[in-house]
Chains A and B, each alone.
Chain A
Amino acid sequence: MALFDYTIKQLEEKVHNGEITVEELVNASYERIHEVDDEVHAFLTLNEENARAQAKELDKQADKTAALFGMPSGIKDNIVTKSLRTTCASQFLDNFHDPLYNATVVQKLSEQKAVTIGKLNMDEFAMGSSNENSSYEPTRNPWNTDYVPGGSSGGSAAAVAAGEVLFALGSDTGGSIRQPAAFCGVVGLKPTYGRVSRFGLVAFASSLDQIGPLTRTVEDNARVLEVIAGHDAMDSTSADIEVPAYTAALTNDVKGLKIAVPKEYLSEGVAPEVKASVMEALKVYESLGATWEEVSLPHSKYAVATYYLLSSSEASANLARFDGVRYGVRSENADNMIDMFKKSRSEGFGEEVKRRIMLGTFALSSGYYDAYYKKAQKVRTLIKQDFEQIFQDYDVVIGPTTPTPAFKVGEKVDDPLTMYANDILTIPVNLAGVPGISIPCGFAKEGLPIGLQIIGKHFDEATVYRTAHAYEQATDHHKQRPQLGGAK
Chain B
Amino acid sequence: MEKISKDQVKHVAHLARLHVSEEEAAMFTEHLSSIITYAEQLNELDTTNVEPTTHVLDIKNVMRKDEPKQWITQEEALKNAPDHKDGHFRVPSILE
Interface of A toward B, CB cutoff 8 Å: 96-101, 193-194, 206-207, 233, 236-237, 239, 299, 302, 304-306, 308-309, 316, 320, 323-330, 334-343, 345-346, 349, 354-355, 357-359, 361-362, 365, 372, 374-382, 384, 416-417, 432-433, 458
Q: How many interface residues does chain B have, given as a range?
A: 35 or more
> Which residues of B35-69 have CB atoms within 8 Å of chain A's CB atoms?
35-36, 38-39, 41-43, 45, 47, 50-57, 59, 62, 64
Which of B12, B39, B57, B91 lies in contact with A194, CB distance below 8 A?
B57
Whether B53 lies near A381 (C-beta < 8 A) is yes
Closest to B61 in A: A236
Whether B57 lies near A381 (C-beta < 8 A) is no
Whether A336 lies near B18 (C-beta < 8 A) is no
Which of B12, B13, B42 lies in contact with A376, CB distance below 8 A?
B42
**Chain B interface mostly helix, strand, loop or mixed?**
loop
Whether B55 lies near A381 (C-beta < 8 A) is no
| Apart from A341-B17, A381-B52, 8 more pairs, CB < 8 Å | A99-B80, A193-B57, A237-B62, A326-B81, A342-B18, A355-B28, A361-B12, A361-B16
- Complex CA gap A378/B44 in Å reads 13
For A374, list chain B residues within 8 Å (CB).
Answer: 52
For A194, list chain B residues within 8 Å (CB).
Answer: 56-57, 59
Whether B17 lies near A345 (C-beta < 8 A) is yes
Pairs of residues from A and B, 7 with the lowest C-beta to C-beta distance, nearest first: A433-B56, A377-B52, A330-B82, A236-B62, A378-B47, A327-B80, A207-B55
Q: What are 13 A-B pairs at a CB distance below 8 A?
A: A194-B59, A308-B39, A309-B39, A326-B89, A336-B92, A340-B91, A341-B17, A346-B20, A372-B36, A372-B39, A377-B52, A378-B53, A380-B53
**Cβ-Cβ contact count across A and B, 8 Å cutoff:** 163
- Complex CA gap A206/B38 in Å reads 23
For A326, list chain B residues within 8 Å (CB).
Answer: 77, 80-81, 89
Closest to B45 in A: A379
Which of B8, B59, B79 lies in contact with A237, CB distance below 8 A?
B59
- Complex CA gap A116/B71 in Å reads 24
For B41, list chain A residues within 8 Å (CB).
Answer: 302, 305
Confirm or deny: B72 has a beta carbon within 8 angstroms of a beta carbon on chain A: yes
Confirm or deny: B32 has a beta carbon within 8 angstroms of a beta carbon on chain A: yes
Whether B28 lies near A100 (C-beta < 8 A) is no
Q: How far apart are A125's CB and chain B's nearest CB, in angstroms?
A: 14
